[in-house]
């Protein structure tokens, strides 16, 4: 039976930290790993294959089973609601989802508008608050929306808060803390259980050492 | 709405072209034959059912139902599974004299498309329902039949993971006391969110032993030895009873000689409220979604008869995916004829069909590109011109 483990890694910010975690867990990964432009990297020594995906897409690859495991932000898991196991909090790339807007402003009474990259998270949050809002989906530079009058509020990821400050925005509410998670396809979780258990054990050892 | 192109189909609907049709037919026949060998009787039920009866009784989420109205204003659903229609038929027509009943089906079910492609909204399920027998033998029979029918269909590498809804439920109740807190934890299992489960457990003010017991649940996966580990963390009562059932199930499966295909997994919660006992899922390594699932349920009672049942359903599309490229050899032969030798051609065709060969009769004048057309057949015979 095919035992190769396919891991979906998020490109960009989380990648470095995730890679560091895997190295600390004792996985023998080649040094040129991070500056390659390749989207698929086979590491024969570990019988692993890495695929590099957009962070927002990692859970999709894992749900469809083309990747056995993946590393994805909790923000992505909340937004996408994919049918995958969330096995381990890797405690990397910490940030949080928040509601922000121009200082001292109230929401429009008639049709309050919220711009976000996370329409599902935003809709669920405001519904729980008992507020009826209209969601506008944007793909990036969310901070623009309140500045030029597209929306009263934004829902976005905040890590240091600098982007908000630089654009003259303030945080109104904190929705949820976000860290990266180890996610696993439900079938792989059962069929490749030995390899996945080993990965989880090694990673969780590293994670608990880091925290202390 | 933009104008539809003529080739478009509703989201999630698929065509079955000849080659796939052949494969489907072959695998379905193998599965059906295996199921019939165990004495199960096949039945058909309507595609449309009432929303209020079958629709609400089904395990499928309301948002996944295709709904429409009949002329009296009743809401109808396209059947989202086969289990609830069969429960309806069994309760109203077949369950006489309180006897065990073994039924089987092969039919299309419908689930409204939620997301992008890769998930058909209409697909075929093959399965069985074993009604009105509470013994662990009947749970074992259904799992054994699932394994042996998948083997008969030609699938070699697969695994069935078996759990029990009562174990986690009882463990939660023993430790947490209230149903509300137990359900909160169960939801995390159902959502496959182990990170959230651990956070929730740690947020409760419990003794460290109780916390450890709750966290150990996540590790209860594997062979027979898992039952021993599970016994260590649960107290007497229904939780222990569920373990006794699973132990017996293991013995039943062993007696069938099929234990290599079965593993235990106490974290399986396929549905928040549907299953009532032993439940299971079947996986093949190369397909990202389960190829089948099943378990014990109390659905029949909703239709007014007191009986529990167990059964399984296999998704034919996922099964075909798991089997990879099936070689379907083309055995169709072609006889080309012209008017002069038409009768001779027809007689030859009759003889060939009598021998069990698939035979096409083609008027040679009807074919524009003879080379391309001939390639479609395993063999060709030309009966043209004056004899």
Say if B226 falls within a structural domain. yes
Asked if pLDDT for residue A2 goes beyond 80, the answer is: no
| Chain A CB contacts of B287 below 8 Å | 65, 187
Average pLDDT, chain B: 91
Would you state the pLDDT for residue A74? 96
Asked whether residue B274 is marked as a ligand-binding residue, the answer is: yes
Which residue intervals of chain A bear CATH 3.40.190.10?
Answer: 5-93+179-211, 95-176
Would you state the pLDDT for residue B296? 94
Would you state the pLDDT for residue B96? 77
Question: Do both B133 and B22 map to the same domain?
Answer: yes
Closest CA to A73 of A51, A61, A91: A91
- The β-bridge relationship of strands B309-315 and B101-110 is unpaired
Would you state the pLDDT for residue B336? 95
Q: What is the DSSP string of A67-92?
A: SSEEEEEHHHHHHH--S-EEEEE---
Question: Do both B291 and B201 map to the same domain?
Answer: no
Say if B319 falls within a structural domain. no
- Contact assignment for B288 to A185 by CB distance below 8 Å: yes
Are B155 and B319 within 8 A, CB to CB? yes
- Contact assignment for B159 to A190 by CB distance below 8 Å: yes
Instruction: Work out the average pLDDT over A203-211.
Output: 87
Q: Which residue in A76, A190, A201 has the most chain B C-beta atoms within 10 A of its own C-beta, making it the best mutation to test that interface? A: A190
* Overall domain count for chain B: 3
A95-176: CATH topology is D-Maltodextrin-Binding Protein; domain 2 (3.40.190)
- The β-bridge relationship of strands B379-383 and A85-89 is unpaired
Question: Do both B147 and B292 map to the same domain?
Answer: yes
Question: Do both B46 and B145 map to the same domain?
Answer: yes
Q: To 10 degrees, what angle do helices B165-176 and B179-190 make?
A: 140
| Chain B CB contacts of A1 below 8 Å | 157, 285
Strand partners, A6: A49
C-alpha atoms less than 13 angstroms from C-alpha of B343 in its C-beta half-sphere: 3
Instruction: Tell me the C-alpha to C-alpha distance, in Å, between residue A92 and each of A179, A210, B101.
Output: 6, 10, 55
Helix, strand or coil, per DSSP, at residue B119: coil
- Contact assignment for A2 to B159 by CB distance below 8 Å: no
| Segment (H or E) for B29 | helix B18-37
- Contact assignment for B290 to A63 by CB distance below 8 Å: no
What does the CA dihedral A54, A60, A62, A67 come to, rounded to 10 degrees? -60
Closest CA to B334 of B298, B367, B305: B367
| Chain B CB contacts of A181 below 8 Å | 195
Asked whether residue B275 is marked as a ligand-binding residue, the answer is: yes
Phi, psi at B274, each rounded to 5°: -80, -50
Instruction: Tell me the C-alpha to C-alpha distance, in Å, between residue B350 and each of A13, B113, B121, B346.
Output: 72, 47, 42, 6
Contact B341/A at CB under 8 A? no
Q: Is the ipTM reported for this complex over the cut 0.90?
A: no
Asked if pLDDT for residue A1 goes beyond 60, the answer is: no
Contact B193/A at CB under 8 A? yes
Would you state the pLDDT for residue B387? 55
Query: B28: domain range?
Result: 11-151+287-310
Question: Which tens digit of pLDDT belongs to each residue from B278-329?
Answer: 999 999 978 999 999 999 998 888 888 888 999 999 999 999 999 887 777 7
What stretches of B169-274 adopt beta strand conformation (E)? 221-222, 262-265
Average pLDDT, chain A: 92
Question: Do both B98 and B131 map to the same domain?
Answer: yes
A185 to chain B: closest CA residue: B288
| Chain A CB contacts of B284 below 8 Å | 187, 191
Closest CA to B275 of B188, B167, B144, B179: B167
Question: Do both B278 and B303 map to the same domain?
Answer: no
Total residue length of chain A: 212
What stretches of A36-188 adopt beta strand conformation (E)? 40-43, 48-53, 69-73, 85-89, 95-101, 113-116, 134-137, 153-158, 170-178, 180-184
Instruction: Work out the average pLDDT over B346-359.
Output: 94
Question: Which tens digit of pLDDT belongs to each residue from A49-84?
Answer: 999 999 999 999 999 999 999 999 999 999 999 999
Say if B4 falls within a structural domain. no
Walk across the sheet containing B41-42 and list its strands: B41-42, B101-110, B122-131, B309-315, B292-297, B275-284, B158-164, B262-265, B221-222
Closest CA to A25 of A200, A203, A198: A203
Q: Nearest CA of chain B to the CA of A205: how many Å?
A: 15
Here the CATH number for the domain that contains residue B359 is: 3.40.50.12590
Asked if pLDDT for residue A40 goes beyond 70, the answer is: yes
What does the CA dihedral B86, B87, B90, B95 come to, rounded to 10 degrees? 150
In terms of CATH, what superfamily is A5-93+179-211? Answer: Periplasmic binding protein-like II (3.40.190.10)
Here the CATH number for the domain that contains residue B232 is: 3.30.930.10
| Chain A CB contacts of B281 below 8 Å | 190
Say if B256 falls within a structural domain. yes
Phi, psi at B382, each rounded to 5°: -110, 120
How many Cβ contacts (< 8 angstroms) between chains A and B? Answer: 52
Any residues with CB less than 8 A from the CB of A195 and at least 6 apart, and which? A3, A5
Question: Do both B209 and B261 map to the same domain?
Answer: yes
A88 to chain B: closest CA residue: B195
Are A179 and A158 within 8 A, CB to CB? no
Give residue A211's pLDDT band: very low, low, confident or very high (50, 70, 90): low
Asked whether residue B83 is marked as a ligand-binding residue, the answer is: yes
Are A96 and A133 within 8 A, CB to CB? no
Asked whether residue B342 is marked as a ligand-binding residue, the answer is: no
A69 to chain B: closest CA residue: B288
Strand partners, B262: B160
Q: Which residue has the tokens 């329409």?
A: A119
Say if B79 falls within a structural domain. yes
| Chain B CB contacts of A83 below 8 Å | 192
Q: Nearest CA of chain B to the CA of A127: how many Å?
A: 18
Asked whether residue B81 is marked as a ligand-binding residue, the answer is: yes
Q: Nearest CA of chain B to the CA of A100: how many Å?
A: 26
- Indicate the residue of B159, B194, B287 with minimum beta-carbon distance to A86: B194
- Indicate the residue of B118, B196, B290 with minimum beta-carbon distance to A187: B290
Instruction: Tell me the C-alpha to C-alpha distance, in Å, between residue A105 and each of A75, A108, A109, B69.
Output: 26, 9, 12, 47
Strand partners, B329: none
Would you state the pLDDT for residue B61? 86
Say if B259 falls within a structural domain. yes
Are B282 and B162 within 8 A, CB to CB? no
Question: Do both B204 and B88 map to the same domain?
Answer: no
Q: Which residue in A191, A203, A207, A208 has the most chain B C-beta atoms within 10 A of its own C-beta, making it the best mutation to test that interface? A: A191
B218 to chain A: closest CA residue: A87
List the single range of B76-80, B248-252, B303-307 with lowest mean pLDDT. Answer: B303-307
Q: Nearest CA of chain B to the CA of A206: how many Å?
A: 16
Question: Which tens digit of pLDDT belongs to each residue from A154-196?
Answer: 999 999 999 999 999 999 999 999 999 999 999 999 999 999 9
| Helices vs. strands in chain A: H and E counts, helices first | 8, 11
Cα separation, A158 vs A138, whole angstroms? 16
Strand partners, B44: none
Are B288 and A64 within 8 A, CB to CB? yes
Say if B317 falls within a structural domain. no
Residues within 8 A of A (CB atoms), B 196-215 only: 196
Residues within 8 A of A (CB atoms), B 263-302 only: 263, 265, 281, 283-290
- Indicate the residue of B159, B192, B283 with minimum beta-carbon distance to A85: B192
What stretches of chain B adopt beta strand conformation (E)? 41-42, 48-50, 67-69, 75-78, 101-110, 122-131, 158-164, 221-222, 262-265, 275-284, 292-297, 309-315, 333-337, 359-363, 379-383
- Contact assignment for A191 to B159 by CB distance below 8 Å: yes
| Chain B CB contacts of A88 below 8 Å | 194-195
Cα separation, A139 vs A173, whole angstroms? 21
- Contact assignment for B195 to A65 by CB distance below 8 Å: no
Rg (CA), chain B: 26
């Amino acid at each position: 039976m095919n035992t190769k483990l396919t891991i979906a890694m998020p490109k960009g910010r989380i990648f470095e930290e995730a890679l560091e975690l895997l190295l600390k867990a004792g996985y023998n990964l080649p040094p040129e790993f991070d500056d390659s432009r390749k989207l698929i990297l086979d590491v024969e020594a570990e019988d692993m294959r890495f695929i590099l995906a957009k962070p927002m897409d990692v859970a999709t690859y894992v749900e469809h089973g083309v990747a056995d495991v993946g590393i994805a932000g909790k923000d992505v898991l909340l937004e996408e609601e994919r049918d995958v196991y969330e096995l381990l909090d890797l405690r990397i790339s910490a940030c949080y989802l928040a509601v922000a807007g121009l200082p001292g402003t109230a929401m429009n009474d008639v049709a309050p508008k919220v711009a976000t990259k996370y329409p599902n998270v935003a809709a669920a949050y405001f519904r729980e608050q008992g507020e009826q809002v209209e969601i506008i989906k944007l793909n990036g530079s969310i901070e623009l929306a309140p500045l030029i009058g597209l929306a009263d509020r934004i829902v976005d990821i905040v890590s240091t808060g600098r982007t908000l400050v630089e654009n003259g925005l303030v945080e109104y509410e904190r929705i949820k803390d976000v860290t990266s998670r180890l996610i696993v396809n439900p079938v792989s979780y059962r069929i490749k259980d030995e390899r996945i258990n080993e990965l989880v054990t090694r990673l969780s050892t590293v994670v608990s050492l880091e925290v202390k | 709405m933009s104008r539809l192109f003529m080739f478009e189909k509703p989201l999630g609907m698929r065509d079955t072209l000849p080659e796939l049709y052949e494969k489907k037919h072959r695998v379905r026949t193998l599965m059906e034959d295996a199921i019939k060998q165990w004495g199960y009787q096949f039945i058909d039920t309507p595609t449309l059912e009432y929303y209020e009866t079958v629709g609400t009784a089904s395990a499928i989420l309301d948002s996944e139902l295709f709904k429409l109205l009949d002329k009296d204003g009743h809401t109808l659903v396209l059947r989202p599974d086969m289990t609830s229609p069969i429960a309806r038929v069994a309760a109203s027509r077949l369950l006489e004299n309180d006897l065990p009943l073994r039924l089987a089906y092969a039919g299309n079910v419908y689930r409204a498309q939620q997301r992008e492609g890769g998930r058909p909204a209409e697909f075929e399920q093959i399965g069985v329902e074993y009604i009105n027998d509470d013994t662990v033998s009947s749970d074992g029979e259904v799992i054994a039949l699932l394994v042996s029918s998948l083997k008969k269909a030609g699938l070699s590498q697969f695994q069935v993971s078996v759990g029990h809804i009562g174990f986690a439920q009882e463990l939660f109740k023993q430790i947490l006391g209230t149903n509300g807190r137990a359900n909160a934890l169960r939801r995390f299992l159902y959502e496959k969110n182990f990170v959230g489960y651990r956070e929730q457990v740690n947020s409760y003010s419990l003794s460290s032993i109780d916390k450890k017991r709750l966290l150990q649940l996540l590790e209860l996966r594997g062979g027979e030895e898992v039952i021993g580990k599970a016994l260590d963390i649960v107290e007497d009562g229904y939780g222990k009873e569920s373990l006794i059932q699973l132990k017996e199930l293991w013995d039943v499966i062993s007696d069938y000689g099929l234990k290599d295909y079965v593993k235990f997994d106490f974290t399986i919660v396929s549905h928040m409220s549907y299953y009532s006992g032993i439940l299971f899922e079947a996986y093949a390594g190369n397909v990202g979604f389960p190829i089948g699932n099943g378990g014990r349920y109390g659905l029949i009672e909703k239709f007014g008869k007191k009986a529990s049942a167990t059964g399984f359903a296999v998704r034919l599309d996922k099964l075909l995916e798991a089997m990879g490229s099936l070689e379907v050899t083309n055995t169709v032969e072609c006889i080309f004829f012209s008017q002069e030798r038409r009768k001779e051609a027809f007689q030859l065709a009759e003889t060939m069909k009598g021998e069990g060969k698939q035979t096409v009769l083609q008027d040679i004048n009807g074919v524009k590109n003879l080379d391309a057309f001939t390639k479609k057949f395993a063999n060709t015979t030309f009966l043209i011109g004056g004899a």
